[in-house]
Amino acid sequence: MTTTRLEHDLLGDAPVPANAYWGVHTLRAIENYPITGKTIGTYADLVRALALVKQAAALAHKELGQLDATRADAIIAACQEIAGGKLHDQFVVDVIQGGAGTSTNMNANEVVANRALELLGRQKGDYAHLHPINHVNMSQSTNDVYPTALRVATCFSIRNLLTAMAGLRQAFEQKAEEFKDIMKIGRTQLQDAVPMTLGQEFSTYAVMLGEDEARLTEAIALIREINLGATAIGTGINTDIRYAKLAIRHLSELSGLPLEAAPNLIEATQDCGAFVQLSGVLKRVACKLSKTCNDLRLLSSGPQAGLNEIRLPPRAAGSSIMPGKVNPVIPEVVNQIAFEVIGNDTTVTFAAEAGQLQLNAFEPIIAHSLFKSVLHLGKGCKTLADYCIDGITANRDALRASVERSIGIVTALNPYIGYANATEIAAEAHLSGRGVAEIVLERQLMSPAQLAEVLRPEVLTKPQMILPRVA
């Protein structure tokens, strides 16, 4: 039994493993791009999207009578298997590659062709019967297949990210409700400011996530514009005038996405602006998540010598030398994901800018960067929700004491005793260590009943009707 089969391309003959579904073009890519050790097969959404593009093309050609039913049905069946999760280990090209994604497209063509040949009872490599380019890649170019697959895959992956973000937002909302009656001191520039509730603080994190969910949904609308049918540069050379419309219709049905043809295919083939915009939104998500995690680390700092306002669930021993130390490891890992996403955005920006004339050759690094960002952000959101936010508890005693001893509450008295009096009371409270309320009563600036009314939690934490002060 032979262990290899001989295949031919522009460069000559080369032996391919007999059991491999990929062929000579993929072999060249394996040899040329030993870069990351991470293959395109690890991005399941991308492989699924590639299979759906090839399936949509075969359906269109069958409908147009340009591909006979026997070959078309075999290609369609092979694509269905791949889209369902089979043969992903055969997508072996490195995620970073030259050639504007040509190696990825050829890898897909060869795997689909050889699996289709098997379904027809033929041997792998029997391309005289069913060819990777002539049949699987009919009316296609890497320059419309690859960007289209990237966009479809991005839509799939963003959907998963949105689900993870919604889960994290709901976790914050639950904590906001749980902590709604717990008073604390807010801070500006890390200095004591005015009172708020811990619930208000956590509701802010939920609102920030909700805003970014909306921005991601908006950004994905541009991603759904595809250039399938554009072929090499957008002119649609080698395609039937009916093909693009049919192929896009089939791809929309197969993917479950409301895909649309880009208004100008020449522009769409060279422009990566939609990816830049999406990457910018992902950077926005990362920035907000990192800020939130910074807050969680600050609020839980200590426990003895820090703020110690909340307690994060312990997830691991924190030190190899300091017994009893527990670190905020979950917020820290999300911080690092955020740093990576911000760096990925820079990569996407440079790669998009570096395109020349009718094609951007750097879409592989754009794809790799985007998929990393989306995947890691999604896992980070789920990790933060499940292993941190759900288990947070409030240090009610510490929070109550901070409100009672803080001069920040004097701000609430400004409308009633005047700024000058409030300033004097704040200075005295700071120097003496006495409470603001005690000094106000001592100076008879307000009655006990008046003071109690003003210092109610619901008054301190939201706008109120303020009656004119009597001189």
pLDDT of residue 389: 97
Structure tokens, 138? 């009919």
pLDDT of residue 466: 66
Q: Is 406-460 the same fold as 144-229+259-396?
A: no
pLDDT of residue 324: 74
Cβ–Cβ < 8 Å for 215, 137: no
**Whether this model's pTM surpasses 0.85:** yes
Distance CA 466, CA 471 (A): 15
CATH value of 406-460 in 3.40.50.450, 1.10.40.30, 2.40.50.180, 3.40.50.300:
1.10.40.30
* pLDDT tens-place values along the chain, 471 residues long: 689 999 898 999 999 999 999 999 999 999 999 999 999 999 999 999 999 999 999 999 999 999 999 999 999 999 999 999 999 999 999 999 998 999 999 999 999 999 999 999 999 999 999 999 999 999 999 999 999 999 999 999 999 999 999 999 999 999 999 999 999 989 999 888 888 999 999 999 999 999 999 999 999 998 999 999 999 999 999 999 999 999 999 999 999 999 999 999 999 889 999 999 999 999 999 999 999 999 999 999 988 888 899 999 988 877 778 877 788 999 999 999 999 999 999 999 999 999 999 989 999 999 999 999 999 999 999 999 999 999 999 999 888 888 877 777 777 788 888 888 888 888 888 888 787 888 888 888 888 888 777 777 666 767 766 666 555
pLDDT of residue 404: 74
**Domain 29-138 classification at class level:** mainly alpha
Cβ within 8 Å of residue 281, ≥6 positions away: 212, 215, 216, 218, 219
pLDDT of residue 321: 80
Domain ranges, ordered by start, for the chain: 29-138, 144-229+259-396, 406-460
Active-site residues, by number, are: 319
Distance CA 208, CA 389 (A): 15
CATH architecture of 144-229+259-396: Up-down Bundle (1.20)
Q: Minimal CA–CA distance to 29: which of 137, 143, 108?
A: 108
Distance CA 289, CA 285 (A): 6
Structure tokens, 297? 């680390």
Tell me the CB-side half-sphere exposure of residue 177, using CA atoms within 13 A: 6
Q: Minimal CA–CA distance to 165: which of 200, 219, 206?
A: 206
Distance CA 236, CA 45 (A): 26
Interstrand relation of 4-9 and 225-226 (parallel, antiparallel or unpaired): unpaired
Distance CA 279, CA 258 (A): 21
